[in-house]
């Protein structure tokens, strides 16, 4: 893309004040009254730490100026090093943030007017900060005060490697505020946090689907490399087989149940000196980052391993190679596929993603499964009572992406609610169809149903009219959803 920053900027709309808290007015009031902001919506109490109302007694809420003598919002800019996971099991969020921190275009949208939020006399520090998040099709502006949970004078949760830098801890607090408390951030999928910070579309990949043949592996590598080239955010994880496996470290240095951010995907040329320019042999490599920081891959091509002697200094420079104990490490793509089993990708669409020559057009529909329109999956006779949406494929054949997202129920965790099991069904429709379907026609696609926040499918569809029906698995589970369909030509959603 010639102007990727401009395209990305177009994805972000003006943000709606969350809980009607208007940052500019609140800060102005605090500065005028010469007082520091105290957030009444998310106060420094036990219920802000856990929806159960229980919190360790040794937690003390402190402002950054009470933790260090010279606090900064950014210290030498933003980077993945600014996100070291604390005592909260939210590596999915940390991995997503590490990806965001590497993309300055996205960062400026999530952290609005960050220059003004820096500590200085000119910017009139008032203990108030704000961040933008995307929630079900809408950008919201979340205001917080800067009182942070500490233990023995140190941050309990996310923290930067620089003790003076606090933007990452403040971002985490703003995200916790949306879901009601810090504890609600335990467990999740990195793609959900990525979507919340970009408005992009989340896609989950099971790597076993791409490891059957060398051609499959190469196809996956190309998908990941193109995705990184076009500003997609990527994370990867190693599964756990039991509760005792969670965050267990393997002998190779990798950690089970962890969400690693993928920060680079490259073909690396082997050889040194003049011969490297004529050597056609290349190795497929991938760079990952551990949200904990120091613990890294210990196998071939790990930091300081002898394999690095096989490539030139210029190639190392081009890779941005360092051997710091910072959680960043390179490994071969084959080794990566040996250990990692699933990946999350957040596509920043309406840019040329997935393929070089495609500009995605979006069809978007906000909906609600109400009692009379909540018919359950195709197993039930009431299935066709669900909301229905028709879209057209205008090209002879087109790659179509369908994303169904439900309202994240972790917001209502204190009510004992969990995400519903959702999915969608696509069938062929009559070319002149203008009204609801009352009979099932030719099935085109029926994805799996799960309680994940998002369901995603990528399909090659011939020219024609189609009907997509989003549903919960069982009838009578009301809720809100966002359906998005992407194609080369505008796939307007009707009904």
Q: How far is Cα 151 from Cα 173, in angstroms, rounded to an integer? A: 16
Least confident of 17-26, 66-75, 96-105, 340-349: 96-105
Distances (CA, A) of 472 to 62, 91, 168: 44, 28, 36
The CATH T-level fold of domain 361-487 is Jelly Rolls (2.60.120)
Q: Tell me the pLDDT tens digit for each residue of 203-239.
A: 988 999 898 899 999 999 998 998 888 778 898 988 7
The separation between CA 210 and the C-alpha centre of its own chain, rounded to angstroms, equals 22
Distance CA 415, CA 64 (A): 33
Helix ranges (DSSP H) in 136-250: 167-179, 190-198, 214-229
Could you tell me the two tokens for 465? Answer: 């009219």
Residues in contact with 366: Cβ distance below 8 Å, sequence separation at least 6, in sequence order: 136, 137, 480, 481, 482, 483
* Contact between 432 and 472 (Cβ < 8 Å): no
Task: Please check the confidence at residue 328 and state whether its pLDDT lies above 90.
Answer: no
Residues 6+ apart with CB under 8 A from 493: 363, 364, 365, 389, 390, 391, 468, 483, 485
At 5 the pLDDT is 38
275 or 150, which is more confident?
Answer: 150
Buried b vs exposed e over 378-391: b needs ≥16 C-beta within 10 Å? Answer: beeeebbbbbbbbb
Catalytic residues: 91, 258, 290
CB 482 within 8 A of CB 470: no
pLDDT at residue 355, as a whole number: 40
* Domain range list for the chain: 4-198, 201-347, 361-487
Query: CATH for 201-347?
Result: 3.90.70.10
Q: How many CB atoms are closer than 10 A to CB 226?
A: 16
Interatomic CA distance for residues 167 and 112, integer angstroms: 12
Residue 40 pLDDT: 97
């Amino acid at each position: 893309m010639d102007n990727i920053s401009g395209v990305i900027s177009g994805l972000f709309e003006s943000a709606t004040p969350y809980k009607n808290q208007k940052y500019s007015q609140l800060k102005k009031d605090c500065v005028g009254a010469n007082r520091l902001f105290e957030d009444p919506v998310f106060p420094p109490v036990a219920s802000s730490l856990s929806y159960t109302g229980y919190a360790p007694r040794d937690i003390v809420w402190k402002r950054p100026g009470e933790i260090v003598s010279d606090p900064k919002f950014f210290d030498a800019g933003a980077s993945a090093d600014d996100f070291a996971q604390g005592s909260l099991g939210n590596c999915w969020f940390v991995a997503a943030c590490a990806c965001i921190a590497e993309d300055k275009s996205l960062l400026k949208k999530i952290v609005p007017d960050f220059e003004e939020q820096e500590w200085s006399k000119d910017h009139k520090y008032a203990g108030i900060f704000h961040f933008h998040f995307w929630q079900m099709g809408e950008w919201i502006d979340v205001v917080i005060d800067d009182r942070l949970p500490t233990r023995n004078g140190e941050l309990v949760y996310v923290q930067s490697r620089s003790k003076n830098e606090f933007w990452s801890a403040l971002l985490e607090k703003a995200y916790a505020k949306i879901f009601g408390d810090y504890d609600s951030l335990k467990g999740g999928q990195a793609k959900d946090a990525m979507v919340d910070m970009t408005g992009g579309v989340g896609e989950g990949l099971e790597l076993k689907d791409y490891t059957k043949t060398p051609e499959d592996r190469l196809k996956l590598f190309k998908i990941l490399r193109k995705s990184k080239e076009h500003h997609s955010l990527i994370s990867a994880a190693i599964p756990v087989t039991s509760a005792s496996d969670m965050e267990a470290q393997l002998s190779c240095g990798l950690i089970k149940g962890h969400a690693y951010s993928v920060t680079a995907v490259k073909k690396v040329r082997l050889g040194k000196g003049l011969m490297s320019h004529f050597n056609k042999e290349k190795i497929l490599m991938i760079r990952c980052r551990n949200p904990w920081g120091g613990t890294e891959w210990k196998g071939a091509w790990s930091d300081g391993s002898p394999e690095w002697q096989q490539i030139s200094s210029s190639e190392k420079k081009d890779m941005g190679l360092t051997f710091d104990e910072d959680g960043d490490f390179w490994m071969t793509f084959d080794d990566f596929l040996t250990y990692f089993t699933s990946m999350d990708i957040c596509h920043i669409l309406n840019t040329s993603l997935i393929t070089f020559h495609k500009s995605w057009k979006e069809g978007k529909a906000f909906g609600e499964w109400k009692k009379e329109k909540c018919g359950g999956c195709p197993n039930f006779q009431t299935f066709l009572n669900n909301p229905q949406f028709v879209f057209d494929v205008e090209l002879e054949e087109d790659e179509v992406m369908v994303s169904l997202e439900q309202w994240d129920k972790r917001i209502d965790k204190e009510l004992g609610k969990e995400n519903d099991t959702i999915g969608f069904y696509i069938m062929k429709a009559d070319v002149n169809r203008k009204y609801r379907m009352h009979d099932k026609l030719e099935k085109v696609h029926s994805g799996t149903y799960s309680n994940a926040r998002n369901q995603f499918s990528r399909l090659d569809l011939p020219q024609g009219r189609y009907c997509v029906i989003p549903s919960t698995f069982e009838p009578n589970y009301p809720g809100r959803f966002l359906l998005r369909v992407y194609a080369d030509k505008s796939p307007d959603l009707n009904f």
